[in-house]
A and B are shown apart, each in its own frame.
Chain A
Amino acid sequence: MTFLGMPATAPRGVGNLRGEEPFPAAAHKALANAQLRRNLSHATTTIRGKSGAVISELPDWQELRDAGSALKAATMARLPELLEQLEAKVTAAGGVVHWAADANEANRIVTGLVRATGHERVTKVKSMATQEIGLNEALQAAGIKAVETDLAELIVQLGHDKPSHILVPAIHRNRSEIRDIFLREMPGVDPALTDEPTELAAAARRYLRETFLSTKVAVSGANFAVAETGTLAVLESEGNGRMCLTLPDTLITVMGIEKLVPTWRDLEVFLQLLPRASTGERMNPYTSMWTGVTPGDGPQNFHLVLLDNGRTAVLADEAGRQALHCIRCSACLNVCPVYERTGGHAYGSVYPGPIGAVLSPQLTGVADNASLPYASSLCGACLDACPVKIDIPSLLVHLRNEVPHPRSERVAMAAAAYTMDHPALYTRAQHAAKLSKHAKRLPPPLNGWTASRDLPEPPAETFRDWWAKR
């Protein structure tokens, strides 16, 4: 495949994979937002409970995870041939396949396709890939209005905000904030709108229904694509996706190249794993599947844009490629003690939380997201929660070994390692380390410790001194 060439990382200046400041600085601001902390704690606790309950119903959950993991590993091992198979099948079924090496190319392709239809508005099914490449911004620059139809994504869009969660992009908002956004931004909204969830949903439904019925072009992502049949699948909970996927004349799907499964039967595993791990549902509410174009039924023009944008570079790293197994369920976000406190914006990328901390730096090259692999205490909760068993803690450690380190830290770590490898020096250092409990403030980089924690009382003697005297 010529589009692959040398694996390139996602280009700068386009899309939403890079933050404006390092994680610790962004986290500092987020942590001070009491409303955000309450919203996140409430939402993640609720989802954790719901998901945990339905997972515990399945006696073969661990076997399903093993199967999901093995299927993904096998898919990655022969991704190029599977992609070509998918292209052939989609083409044979009346679709048109486009290859996009990066965000710029994908945006150009989609913008061109929409322009060719002559329409100036598209409906959108919630899609991480199009958020990743900044498609809405690119369409807007071309005078095309993109309307997000997923309720939470709509809240984010109307609020001129950014998504902060893979599955629940408005998780950082509570219902009274949502009412305020609707009252301010939603055309034709009832000024007496309350913050009752059913009322909020009804307001969104009224607004969206009109949009669905009058828009001729839709843009979606994809949860899965089946190589052997050329079938695309979108899983959603609100029915908005089904509207977008069936009503318009033209459907454009932007899909990361890692979303493939080899055979139809493989969906059996993922359709069990995804809803329980992500929304805590036993079965996904709306599962839409389509294969190319069906005359007289649904969109008569179907375009599939296969997006690389750094994925081939991730695939080239034998240890790092596990991150491509992700099925975007967001279970790792919901169990992450860091995410629960900082929220998603602190990560700077559309992919927040533990999976974002290993995926974003690989897509952009680690230097552009150097703080993200450190945005974890390595507690391991993400690995236990992952339905396809991505070993995120090990990936974080792997990426930490790749990032450029500050010079002062390099010097200190080298000195520490040298001391530790020379027991005489080590013993001397132990005796010198008479830290005082009364030192309430240490100098940088240790001041982070004493900002909130006392130092331990120094012992009268080290263990090895005591042992030597026995």
Chain B
Amino acid sequence: MRIALFVTCLADTLFPAAAKATVELLERLGHEVVFPPGQTCCGQMHVNTGYQSQALPLVRRHVRNFAPYDVIVAPSGSCVGSVRHQHAMVARNAGDERLAVRAEEVGRRTYELSELLVDVLGIEDVGASYPHRVTYHPTCHSLRMLRVGDKPLRLLRNVRGIDLVDLPAGEQCCGFGGTFALKNADTSTAMLADKMGHILETKAEICTAGDSSCLMHIGGGLSRLDAGIQTVHLAEILASTEAATDMPGRASEGSA
């Protein structure tokens, strides 16, 4: 299958390991990955901070770049949520019904990684190997906007050697929330403290999720505490094989 990668500006710029892992995983499974080079950012930060009119050209750009593809994947539940649930609204609020309809079409063909694997490609065992103690944080937009349910967990359970432990109160928000983390830094930090407490309880070496943004927040907190727990994007775990003896998250390449 020919799959267009919607890399997301965050993974492109700060967490390329998650994006590279997405490419390697899909290629290993026998698919062709293409990267539309005109893509930049889906505009979610602008929409969620109250700047819809500034997001409009970004929505237009995104739709233009991805309209030619039948299947689009992103290593982010949040950015897929933005494309699927916000782009048409932004276009409609600007009075551009034609763009709204095209945005809806692109949204329907855009999948978060676990959705693509389980729903479109019909795979739950991607042949990965990852001999580490891992806990999974279900990010809010994956969970409540996209309703990915237990798809990421089904994929993780099939990973060889993984010691997957439940994250207590996992469904509570980690406190990232985009610009919420800056505008309400204290509350964001209080939420993060509880999330980190639960992660520490699991005695996991690795905390994984489907969003580099939440992992940046959780990882930034764990790092500040020198907690000795790494954050690794779901794609990186699923891309890991017995042949590759990479350390968790390929830290040298900048893990999520």
CB-CB under 8 A from A381, the residues of chain B are 140, 144, 171-173
A269 to B186, CA, bound (A): 40
- Assess whether A405 is in contact with B50, with CB atoms less than 8 Å apart: yes
Task: Report how far A162 CA is from B19 CA in the complex, Å.
Answer: 50
- The contact of B49 among A338, A413, A455, A464, by CB within 8 Å, is A413
Judge whether A454 and B45 touch: CB under 8 Å.
no
Kindly state the separation between the CA atoms of A460 and B57 in the bound complex, as whole angstroms. Answer: 30
> Which residues B150-186 have CB closer than 8 A to chain A?
171-173, 175-186
| A residues less than 8 Å from B172 (CB atoms) | 337, 379, 381
Contact with B140, one of A37, A379, A461 (Cβ below 8 angstroms): A379
Q: A378-B178, A449-B185 are in contact. Are A455 and B220 (CB under 8 A)?
A: yes
Fill in one digit per residue for B225-255: 1 if any A CB lies within 8 Å of its CB, else 0: 0000000000000000000000000010110
**Bound-complex Cα distance A467 to B20 (A):** 8
A452-B58 contact, Cβ under 8 Å, with A381-B173, A397-B47, A462-B16: no
Report whether A403 and B12 are in contact in the complex, using a CB–CB cutoff of 8 Å: no
B216 near A456: Cβ-Cβ < 8 Å: yes
Interface size class of A (residues with CB under 8 A): 35 or more
A417, B46: Cβ atoms closer than 8 Å:
yes
Which one of B50, B86, B179 has the greatest number of beta carbons of chain A within 10 Å?
B50
Contacting residue for B20 out of A379, A384, A466, CB 8 A = A466
Q: For window 71-112 of chain B, which residues contact chain A by CB distance below 8 Å?
A: 86, 89, 93
Assess the A456–B254 pair: CB atoms within 8 A: yes
**Inter-subunit contact A448/B181 (CB<8 Å):** yes
A420 near B177 (CB under 8 angstroms)? no
**With A and B bound together, what is the CA distance between A375 and B188 in angstroms?**
10
Considering only CB atoms, which chain A residue lies closest to B50 in the complex?
A400
With A379-B173, A449-B182: A463-B140 Cβ-Cβ less than 8 Å: no
Given A24-B184, A337-B191, A462-B13; A414-B175 close (CB under 8 Å): no
User: CA–CA, A456 to B231, complex, Å?
Assistant: 11
Q: Is B11 an interface residue (CB 8 A)?
A: yes
Check if B202 is an interface residue, CB within 8 A of chain A: no
Chain A nearest CB from B204 CB (Å) reads 19
A31 within 8 Å of B by Cβ? yes
The reply to whether A466 and B16 form a contact with Cβ atoms under 8 Å apart is yes
Give every chain A residue within 8 A of B175 (Cβ-Cβ). 337, 377
Collect the chain A residues with CB atoms within 8 Å of residue B217's CB: 453
* B253 and A460 within 8 A (CB): yes
User: What residue of chain A has the Cβ atom nearest to residue B61's Cβ?
Assistant: A421
Chain B, residue nearest A370 (CB): B50
Within 8 A of B (CB), among A432-448: 433, 435, 437, 445-446, 448
Q: Which one of B33-41, B117-125, B126-134 contacts A?
A: B33-41
Report A115-149 residues with CB < 8 Å from chain B CB.
Answer: none
> Given the complex, which residues of B lie within 8 Å of A459, measured CB to CB?
14-17, 253-254
Interface residues as binary, A13-48 with B (CB distance below 8 Å gives 1, 0 otherwise): 000000000011001100100000100000000000
Q: How far is the CA of A458 from the CA of B140 in the complex (A)?
A: 26
Which of A383, A430, A446 contacts B13 (CB under 8 A)? A430
Given contacts A459-B14, A464-B12, contact A417 B54 (CB under 8 A): yes
- The answer, among B46, B52, B140, B177, for a CB contact under 8 Å with A416, is B46
Interface residues of B in 36-71 (CB under 8 A from A): 37-38, 40-41, 43, 45-52, 54-55, 57-58, 61
Q: Bin chain B's interface residue count.
A: 35 or more
Q: How far is the CB of B77 from chain A (nearest CB, A)?
A: 11
User: Which chain A residues border B48 with CB–CB below 8 Å?
Assistant: 378, 397, 400
Contacting residues of chain A (387-428) with chain B, CB-CB under 8 angstroms: 394, 397, 399-403, 405, 409-410, 413-414, 416-417, 420-421, 423, 426
CB contact under 8 A between A451 and B20, given known A27-B184, A426-B40:
no
CB neighbours of A341 from chain B (8 A): 187, 190-191, 194
User: Does B200 lie at the interface of the complex (its beta carbon under 8 Å from any beta carbon of A)?
Assistant: no
Measured CB to CB, the closest approach of chain A to B57, in angstroms, equals: 5
**Residue from B57, B224, B251 within 8 A of A452 (CB atoms):** B224
- The docked-state distance in angstroms from the alpha carbon of A376 to that of B45 is 14
**Contact partners of B216 in chain A: CB under 8 A:** 456
CB <8 Å contact, B52 and A401: yes
The answer to whether A31 and B190 touch (CB under 8 A), given A413-B54, A454-B223, is yes
Residues on B with C-beta less than 8 A from A421 are 40, 57-58, 61
| Shortest distance between the CB of B70 and any CB in chain A (Å) | 20
Q: Is there a chain B Cβ closer than 8 Å to A207's Cβ? A: no
Are B141 and A380 touching (Cβ within 8 A)? yes
**Chain B residues, CB < 8 A from A373:** 50
Residue A57 lies at the interface, judged by CB distance under 8 Å to chain B: no
Q: Which residue of A lies closest to B186 (CB)?
A: A28
- On whether the beta carbons of B144 and A400 are closer than 8 Å, the reply is no
CA distance A380 to B81 in the complex (A): 12
Question: Residue of B at shortest CB range from A425?
Answer: B40
A342 interface residue per 8 A CB criterion: yes
Q: CA–CA, A397 to B43, complex, Å? A: 13
- Please name all residues of chain A whose beta carbon is closer than 8 Å to the beta carbon of B13 when the two chains form the complex: 430, 433, 462-463
| A281–B7 CA distance with the chains assembled, in angstroms | 47
CB nearest to A419 among chain B residues? B40
Q: How far is the CB of A353 from chain B (nearest CB, A)?
A: 13
Residues of A within 8 A of B50 (CB): 373, 397, 399-403, 405
A99 interfacial contact with B, CB 8 Å = no
A–B complex contacts, Cβ < 8 Å, 30 sampled: A23-B184, A31-B186, A338-B191, A341-B194, A377-B140, A377-B180, A379-B177, A381-B171, A401-B52, A403-B50, A413-B49, A413-B51, A420-B58, A421-B61, A423-B37, A423-B38, A426-B41, A433-B13, A433-B14, A435-B14, A448-B185, A449-B181, A449-B182, A449-B220, A454-B223, A455-B220, A456-B216, A456-B220, A458-B14, A464-B12
| Extra contacts besides A378-B48, A420-B9, A453-B181 (5): CB < 8 Å | A27-B187, A417-B46, A448-B182, A459-B253, A463-B11
